[in-house]
Amino acid sequence: MKKTAFFFFFFLSFCSLCAEDGYRLWLRYDKISDNALLQQYSSQLSSLLPAASTPTLQTAQQELQSGLQGLLGKQIPLQPALANGSIILGTPATSSLIASVVPARQLAAAGAEGFVLQTAVSSGKNVTVITGNKEAGVLYGVFYFLRLLQTHQSIRPLAFTSAPKIGLRLLNHWDNLNRSVERGYAGISIWDWHKLPDYLDRRYTDYARANASIGINGTVLTNVNANALTLTKDYLVKAAALAHVFRPYGIKVYLTARFSAPIEIGKLKTADPLDPAVQQWWKQKADEIYSYIPDFGGLLVKANSEGQPGPQNYGRTHADGANMLADAITPHGGVVIWRAFVYSNETPDDRFKQAYNEFKPLDGKFRKGVLVQVKNGPIDFQPREPFHPLFGAMPATPLMMEYQLTQEYLGFATHLVYEAPLFTEVLQADTYAKGKRSEVASAIDGTLEGHSLTGMAGVANIGNDRNWCGHPFAQANWYALGRLAWDHDLSAAQIAEEWIRQTFANQPAFVGPVKAMMLSSRETMVNYMTPLGLHHIMGYGHHYGPAPWYNQAPRADWNPVYFHKADSLGLGFDRTAAGSNALAQYKDEVARLYGNLQTCPEAFLLWFHHVPWNYKMKSGRTLWEELCYKYYTGADSVKQMRQTWNGMKGLIDEERFAQVNMLLGIQEKEAIWWRNACVLYFQTFSRMPLPAGYEKPDQSLEYYQSLRFPYAPGIGGNL
Ligand code: GCW
């Protein structure tokens, strides 16, 4: 007996020493250390009524059991008889008790995917009900309930209903069949195509758990720079195996379609969407896909963009291409997600304007079942972009939001950047499409134009690194995407707080400072990389580090100099009527706000104006001084982040503490690199001295320009 206890103790202490490698994400379920709370929860939760034996309800039950076992440190028995503290799991269809205990209007409010958490008295017993109209809702409810415990919230009384505001809540993996990940910084792809379909890594299940816990209900497995082989039988069988793992978690599988697939794998001479043989080929392909994956979510397509084939190769429009695929896919219940990230090499116009120019005229031409997926901003996932002018501009078309979780332009997986403030800034921007209060969020959730097909996607930051995302804090961006897709009214602060409490610790001494650090991290990064509306000034190709001087790219709009337009007079891209007039793509109210130098928020200044170096900013400083101020403040803030983190020593496990500490060290160096390189380079145009009091860069501009990174991660060849 003693021996067992010793080993148990040994095992526990061993686990606490070795287990904090980040693998458990925000689903750690460690025993609650606050004894009073532990006792309270224990007395409120005594047993679990066995759920119906369907895959999703059994999954929900297992999650609840293992979660409670961890959090309460004891097993909650399955017990059919109602007792004080019973938990009842199920849908009104699987349990008559639920229908009698939960008010019908609450169930109605939960809709198809939502859930109800309800405490009630049934046959004289205090019970907790976790329910939804569909089984996936029950699972979401279980995860929400476990979150309440993990974050030390009260669980009695509960009368809480929650339903997602957005229908398709997706991750987009830019994963190639050779397991390289385009713009991936967390190892190779988690999809081990070679061993699929027979070898099902435990990670696939944990991936599904993590996604379901935040309401993500679909995953696009493959890169939008697509490989036609994805749609061959060999790979469909592999994708079907993943779909099988994900199904109980309410997660559908989607794939990317290469537009030229009929030629490459179908032996046709053309991929012209108006050619009957091509249409027939896609119909048969869709039938085949659905024979393997009956609940297949649909196809995501990047066409006529950055060298990808598309309908324009045949003189057809994006709508022609999307509609052909929709005719094949929608009869099976799937959707076609067509990306609006296009810019043509031949079009000499401002790259900002190209997606709008191509897509706006197609509004109303897309078939039912097609969504157009639009990046949050007009260029390309920069640290700060104004909202994309297509939002609010295509009333007849369901527009889906595309964010980038992977930090292609945000310091890779080395910089601590919490992206929720970026996401919410865009969602809250007012498009004025139907007058004031026509926020981007309402264009995405369907309320602005009355669409029922709605979606939000995040380009995944997941790889096979033990901690999934490379940086322990990058997990928060995955988490935030799911939470905001479910409910975009949540604040970045609220999401950060619940993530920290589950992922690290509940102590206020930790939560407070770390939350503040997360919330300011995005602005800090903007300051040391692209302040005042600068954009696209990173290294060429790999996108690592600063290279505002670069002008050797094969096309003008891949060059930083194209975007910042520094000259002896000033800095910034004039997108007013006097310049490219991109502002005309916005509603008048927005165009006026940004178009007037006096009213344009300074955060967006250089997006829209070419501003003289000695222009007086609101602070009283000149543009040049303000630019220096921002770069130096940004780099200094990283120093402060390190200090904050150092103060957290001892409050969490040593392993993750040390990892973050080292990463912040790199971030500080790289912030100084960005600052020095950019200030020295822009100084060659402003010809003004560094304002007094700033430490001089310790290297020359030539030094920064000479740096080369042939093996920077994330380029990802699609072999
Ligand atoms: O940001 C750019 C990336 C490309 C990516 C492209 C896109 C998948 O640099 O790597 O290609 O966007 O979104 O299609």
pLDDT band at 224 (very low <50, low <70, confident <90, very high): very high
Half-sphere exposure of 556 (CA within 13 A, CB side): 13
What distance in Å separates the CA atoms of residue 394 and residue 438, rounded to the nearest whole number?
13
Return residue ranges of the chain for CATH 3.30.379.10.
Answer: 3-14+28-162
Helix (H) or strand (E) holding 120: strand 115-122
- From the CA of 217, how far away is ligand 1's center (Å)? 23
pLDDT digits (tens, 9 = 90+) for 259-284: 999 999 999 999 999 999 999 999 99
What distance in Å separates the CA atoms of residue 278 and residue 262, rounded to the nearest whole number?
7
Q: Are 383 and 529 in contact (CB under 8 A)?
A: yes
Residue 4 has pLDDT above 70, yes or no: no
Catalytic residue among 306, 567, 588, 654: 306
- From the CA of 405, how far away is ligand 1's center (Å)? 13
Identity of residue 41: Y
Return residue ranges of the chain for CATH 3.90.1330.10.
Answer: 527-573+610-706
pLDDT digits (tens, 9 = 90+) for 90-110: 999 999 999 999 999 999 999
What distance in Å separates the CA atoms of residue 267 and residue 446, rounded to the nearest whole number?
40
- Burial class from Cβ neighbours inside 10 Å (0-12, 13-18, 19+) for residue 578 reads exposed
pLDDT digits (tens, 9 = 90+) for 591-644: 999 999 999 999 999 999 999 999 999 999 999 999 999 999 999 999 999 999
User: Residue 577, Cα to own-chain centre: how many angstroms?
Assistant: 34
Q: Are 634 and 524 in contact (CB under 8 A)?
A: yes
Q: Whose CA is nearest to atom 13 of ligand 1?
A: 341
Average pLDDT over residues 509-533: 98
Report, in angstroms and rounded to the nearest whole number, the Rg of the chain calculated over CA atoms: 26
Residue 308 has pLDDT above 60, yes or no: yes
Cα angle value 592/598/603 (rounded, 5°): 85
Tell me which residue of 247, 186, 162 sits closest to 407, measured CA to CA: 186
Neighbours of 3 (CB within 10 A): 7
Neighbours of 541 (CB within 10 A): 14
What distance in Å separates the CA atoms of residue 656 and residue 220, rounded to the nearest whole number?
30
- From the CA of 715, how far away is ligand 1's center (Å)? 10
**3-class DSSP state of 504:** coil
> Measured from the CA of 716, which atom of ligand 1 is nearest?
10
CATH number of 3-14+28-162: 3.30.379.10
Q: Are 357 and 367 in contact (CB under 8 A)?
A: no
> Measured from the CA of 308, which atom of ligand 1 is nearest?
14
The answer to whether residue 306 is catalytic is yes
Residues of the chain above pLDDT 70, percent: 97
Residue 2 has pLDDT above 60, yes or no: no
CATH 2.40.40.20 fits 527-573+610-706, yes or no: no
Residue 9 has pLDDT above 80, yes or no: no
> Measured from the CA of 305, which atom of ligand 1 is nearest?
14
pLDDT band at 174 (very low <50, low <70, confident <90, very high): very high
Q: Whose CA is nearest to atom 11 of ligand 1?
A: 225
Identity of residue 669: K
| pLDDT for 348 | 74
Helix (H) or strand (E) holding 55: helix 55-72
| pLDDT for 345 | 66
Average pLDDT over residues 429-454: 98
The answer to whether residue 498 is catalytic is no
Locus of tokens 């697509």:
226
- From the CA of 339, how far away is ligand 1's center (Å)? 11
Average pLDDT over residues 530-551: 98
Within 8 A by CB and 6+ apart from 153, the residues are none
CATH 2.130.10.10 fits 168-490, yes or no: no
Instruction: Spell 141-172 as b/e; 16+ CB within 10 A means b.
Output: bbbbbbbbbbbeeeeeebeebbbbbbbbbbbb
Strand 125-131 relative to strand 115-122: parallel, antiparallel, unpaired? antiparallel
Average pLDDT of the residues of the chain: 96
Instruction: State the chain's maximal CA–CA distance in angstroms.
Output: 84
Residue 474 has pLDDT above 50, yes or no: yes
Neighbours of 78 (CB within 10 A): 12
| DSSP summary character for residue 158 | -
| pLDDT for 14 | 42
pLDDT digits (tens, 9 = 90+) for 407-426: 999 999 999 999 999 999 99
Looking at the chain, how many residues does it have?
719
| pLDDT for 346 | 72
Tell me which residue of 486, 451, 259, 460 sits closest to 372, measured CA to CA: 451
Q: Whose CA is nearest to atom 1 of ligand 1?
A: 380
pLDDT band at 11 (very low <50, low <70, confident <90, very high): very low
Q: Are 700 and 680 in contact (CB under 8 A)?
A: yes
- From the CA of 35, how far away is ligand 1's center (Å)? 50
Residues with CB under 6 A from ligand 1: 174, 182-183, 224-225, 302, 306, 341, 380-381, 408
Return residue ranges of the chain for CATH 3.20.20.80.
Answer: 168-490
What distance in Å separates the CA atoms of residue 135 and residue 129, rounded to the nearest whole number?
14
The lowest-confidence range among 35-49, 152-166, 337-351 is 337-351
Average pLDDT over residues 153-180: 98
pLDDT digits (tens, 9 = 90+) for 46-87: 999 999 999 999 999 999 999 999 999 999 999 999 999 999
pLDDT digits (tens, 9 = 90+) for 344-377: 767 779 999 999 999 999 999 999 999 999 999 9
Residues of the chain above pLDDT 90, percent: 95
Best residue among 374, 402, 408 to mutate for probing ligand 1's pocket (most ligand atoms within 8 Å of CB) is 408
- The four Cα atoms 252, 258, 264, 266 give a dihedral, to 10 degrees, of 50
Locus of tokens 């600068």:
534
The answer to whether residue 408 is catalytic is yes
> Measured from the CA of 409, which atom of ligand 1 is nearest?
1
- From the CA of 275, how far away is ligand 1's center (Å)? 29
What distance in Å separates the CA atoms of residue 6 and residue 194, rounded to the nearest whole number?
43
Q: Quick one: the chain helix, strand, coil %, rounded to 5? A: 45, 10, 45
Direct distance between the N- and C-terminal alpha carbons of the chain, in angstroms, rounded to an integer: 58
Phi and psi angles of residue 371, each rounded to the nearest 5 degrees, phi first: -115, 145
Cα angle value 407/376/297 (rounded, 5°): 85
Catalytic residue among 272, 350, 408, 445: 408
